[in-house]
Amino acid sequence: MAMNTPKQTSHLKREILVRLIKAYLSDNFEENTRKIPYDMRPKGSEVPFRCCIHKERAILRDRVIAGLGLSIEDADDSELLSDLAKKSLERTEPEENPLTVLHTACQGCVPSRIYVTDLCQGCVARPCESTCKFGAIKVENGKSVIDPSKCKNCGMCAQVCPYQAIAKIIVPCENACPVGAIAKDEDGHARIDFDKCISCGKCVSSCPFGAVHKKSQIIDILKSIKEGKKLVAMLAPAIMGQLPCTPKQLKQAILSIGFSDVVEVAEGADITTRNEAAEFAERMEKGDKFMTTSCCAGYNELVEKHIPELKPFRSETKTPAYYTAEMVKKETPEAVTVFFSPCVAKRREAMQNPNIDYVLNFEELGAWFIAMNVQVSECDETAYRKESSAQARNFAVTGGVAGAVNTLLEEGQKAQPYIVDGLNKQSIRDLKKFAKNGSCELGNLIEVMACPGGCLGGSSSINSYKPALKQLTAYVNESPEIKEVVKK
Amino acid sequence: MEKISVKVCLGTTCFVMGSANLQELMEIVPAKYGDKVDVCGVPCLGLCSVDWEFSKAPYVKVDDEIIKDATTEKVLSAIDAKLEKK
């Protein structure tokens, strides 16, 4: 099931966001930003993680840069955080690539490889030798030895060793990335290849050093509020399981930090469901073998960059965020729209959609509440302008999208859903196979979620999966049926 | 014997800084200690609002003892220590 990010690194990243927001709201943003590493590690304080206080501060400085929405790789070491803070205020739109790697934090890992430990007994059977297709492993002086020039890191020898004496050493980010977009360069630092990256955020969650950062847009958003603009919050359905309050209290809490209006993206999910159901029926009538959903931004990026042959099978229907943003901009053209997101990938989607101005993730929202002392459970309840359907509000849970579409299909046309619950190397191979064969024997409506568990398992979520699911399900259960909400 | 009381702060600050992950205590503690320990989530204990103390959140109270930067493991060992004394 969905995992939370390593607790210590997400605690650190959230603390920095809180301090950054407090600095912005103070009377001297630039100077107070410069001081963040020193406030967090004042003179004489203990050094919890690194070799010395100076390295601790240097790394915290770099983490602040990501919070400012800037690329850590591009910032020169000599630049003061106060100057970088100024730079973040001057930009007119967020930077393109949503992730950045903190090189000073990244260098602990040894390169991925297969390693024969001392436990090797140099046995007679030697299954490692016979199983290796590349002739890369031989017993010498009573112990197996790997020839690195021949070894392809397949790990077969490790699997067959009767003593489990061979270890496959992994680099967590490389291992987590389903598309091979992150790898160590010649200096041993991880580097992201953005031509391959699908913004799924798995590297962010997997790095035990917290070296992969999301570039925040929080400064851009705070600045828009200060300039007196009318900001509209568009809440992804997954948010309803994230904080210890009711959905209506959450709306009031978001209004209290400076937003003019708050709408549920579930409104758009109702439209997505209606269109996708109609499209599915039409495609099946036409003789198509299967259709995939199209609402997950990570999956959409995967199709664009790695499986273009899947495009004809992917639904043409737009995402809930798309329809919601379209509605908001139509009603209020001057509105600045902010999508509240459980994941990194939606930043990419937002960048390609002129109707979505900014993306704020759940962690950043949580940090904002802390910075402004908002006690969500004590907020009044404010109703949403529209009651969205139970099915739309359940889009955040794996199986929810296919389930919603199926509710709107007539008897006899019902889809047979096949759920891809999280993108990984195996599920990507499966998808490629479906595209190649032009058919999928496991179902005709393939729902794809990049994160295990659905959006609720997104890499920016605050709550752990089980209680989040319980909370969201309670909300879904008190919501109207989609057939009552969507008129044909 | 008087019961040990465990209060997990579910105020906004603690929740965001990690007590979301401590909700597992509501299942683990009764399973491990039965009726010797009472565990519940409580609204903001007010510990985070002092100066910059938010950075030490999440907070948990085991009887009168305040646990900063609380983790499931820390809370369980605090309970064990209290039970040993009784």
d(CA A235, CA A288): 34
The architecture that CATH gives domain B4-85 is: 3-Layer(aba) Sandwich (3.40)
Q: Which of A18, A38, A379 to mutate to test the interface with B (most CBs of B within 10 A)?
A: A18
Domains of chain A, start order: 7-106+182-216 (no CATH), 113-169 (3.30.70.20), 220-485 (no CATH)
Give contacts of A 31-60 with B, CB under 8 A.
39-40
Q: How confident is the model at residue B51 (pLDDT cuts 50, 70, 90)?
A: low
Residue B49 Cα, gap to closest chain A Cα (Å):
8
In this structure, the number of other CB atoms found within 10 A of the CB of residue B45 comes to 20
CB contact under 8 A, B21 and A4: yes
Query: Whose CA is closest to A237, among A456, A486, A477, A480?
Result: A456
What Cα–Cα distance (Å) separates residue A482 from each residue in A269, A357, A470, A485? 10, 29, 20, 5
Q: Residues 6 or more apart from A74 whose CB is under 8 A from it?
A: none
Interface with chain A: mutation pick from B8, B10, B12, B53, highest number of A CBs within 10 Å: B12
Instruction: Please tell me the distance from the alpha carbon of residue B58 to that of residue B71, in angstroms, as a whole number.
Output: 8
What pLDDT score does A2 carry?
39
Cis peptide before A37 (omega within 30 of 0): no
Mutant choice from A11, A19, A470 vs B, greatest count of B C-beta within 10 A: A11
Strand, helix or coil at A168?
A: strand
Answer whether A4 sits within 8 Å of B15, measured CB to CB.
no
Which residues of A are less than 8 Å from B41 in CB distance? 244
- The reply to whether B44 touches chain A by the CB within 8 Å rule is yes
pLDDT at A488: 52
Residue A85 CA to residue A65 CA, distance in Å, equals 8
Give me the mean pLDDT over the B12-24 stretch.
Answer: 94
Residues A439 and A365: their CA atoms lie apart, in Å, by 42
pLDDT at B16: 95
> Which of B9, B16, B73 should one mutate to test binding to chain A, selecting the residue with the greatest count of A CBs within 10 A?
B16
| Closest CB from A18, A369, A463 relative to B20 | A463
Contacts B44 to A, Cβ<8 Å: 375, 377
Inter-chain touch A375–B11, beta carbons under 8 Å: yes
Contact present, B61 and B6 (Cβ < 8 Å): yes
Q: Which of residues 14-43 of B touch A (CB under 8 A)?
A: 15-18, 20-21, 23-24, 41, 43
Q: Residue A425: which residues within 8 A CB-CB, separation 6 or more? A: A178
In this prediction, residue B52 carries a pLDDT of 61
The H or E element spanning position A84 is helix A81-90
Tell which residue, A61, A351, A101, A434, has the closest CA to residue A53.
Answer: A61
Please say whether the beta carbons of A87 and A223 come within 8 A.
no
Q: Report whether pLDDT(B36) > 90.
A: yes
pLDDT in tens, chain A (488 residues): 334 445 678 899 999 999 999 999 999 999 999 999 999 999 998 888 888 999 999 999 999 999 999 999 999 999 999 999 999 999 998 988 999 999 888 876 777 889 999 999 999 999 999 999 999 999 999 999 999 899 988 899 999 999 999 998 888 999 999 999 999 888 888 999 999 999 999 999 899 889 999 999 999 999 999 999 999 999 999 999 999 999 999 999 999 999 999 999 999 999 999 999 999 999 999 999 999 999 999 999 999 999 999 999 999 999 999 999 999 999 999 999 999 999 999 999 999 999 999 999 999 999 999 999 999 999 999 999 999 999 999 999 999 999 999 999 999 999 999 999 999 999 999 999 999 999 999 999 999 999 999 999 999 999 999 999 999 999 999 999 999 998 75
CA distance A139 to A116: 11
Decide if A256 touches B, using CB distance below 8 A. Answer: no
CB A49 within 8 A of CB A56: yes
Which amino acid appears at position A420 of this protein? V
* A278 Cβ contact list (under 8 Å, min separation 6): none
- Identity of the residue in A4, A11, A243 whose CB atom sits nearest the CB atom of B12: A243
CB contact under 8 A, A15 and B44: no
B19 min Cα distance to partner chain A (Å): 9
Contact across the interface for A369 and B12, Cβ inside 8 Å: yes
Q: How far apart are CA A49 and CA A209, in angstroms?
A: 9
What residues contact A24, with CB distance under 8 A and at least 6 apart?
A33, A218, A219, A222
Does A244 contact B13 at a Cβ distance shorter than 8 Å?
A: no
pLDDT at position A106 is 82
Instruction: Please give the pLDDT value at position B19.
Output: 93
Domain borders along chain B are 4-85
- How far does Cα B67 stand from its chain's mean position? 7
Contact check, Cβ <8 Å, B16/A363: yes
Q: How high is the pLDDT of residue A4? A: 45
| CB A304, CB A322: distance < 8 Å | no
DSSP H stretches of helix in A343-421:
345-351, 362-371, 390-393, 400-408
pLDDT of amino acid A486:
86
Cα separation, A50 vs A48, whole angstroms:
6
Contacts A–B by Cβ distance under 8 A: 64
Report residue A115: phi and psi, to 5°. -130, 125
Q: What is the residue whose two structure tokens read 């962690």?
A: A363
Q: Using the beta-carbon criterion (under 8 Å), do A377 and B16 form an inter-chain contact? A: no
The answer to whether residue A370 neighbours chain B at the CB level (below 8 Å) is yes
Mark yes or no for CB contact B49/A373 under 8 Å: yes
Specify the pLDDT at position A111. Answer: 78
In this complex, is the C-beta atom of B77 within 8 Å of any C-beta atom belonging to chain A?
no
Residue reference for tokens 């966001």? A17
Residue A372 — φ and ψ, nearest 5°? -100, 10
**Residue A226, both tokens:** 């200060």
> In B10-78, where do the E strands start and end?
37-42, 60-62, 65-67
Whether A11 sits inside 8 A of B18 (CB atoms) is: yes
A207: contact with B, CB 8 A cutoff: no
For A155, the 3-state DSSP assignment is coil
Does residue A237 have a cis bond before it (omega within 30 degrees)? no
CA distance, residue B66 to nearest chain A CA (Å): 19
Question: Cβ atoms within 10 A of the Cβ of A84, count?
Answer: 21
Strand pairing category for A212-214 and A99-101: antiparallel
Report ipTM (2 d.p.). Answer: 0.93
Chain B partners within 8 Å of A377 (Cβ): 10-12, 43-44
Q: Which residue has the higher pLDDT, A405 or B85?
A: A405
What is the token pair recorded at A426? 């195996």
Q: Number of helices and strands (H, E) in chain A?
A: 21, 15
Residue with the two structure tokens 């490790």: A158
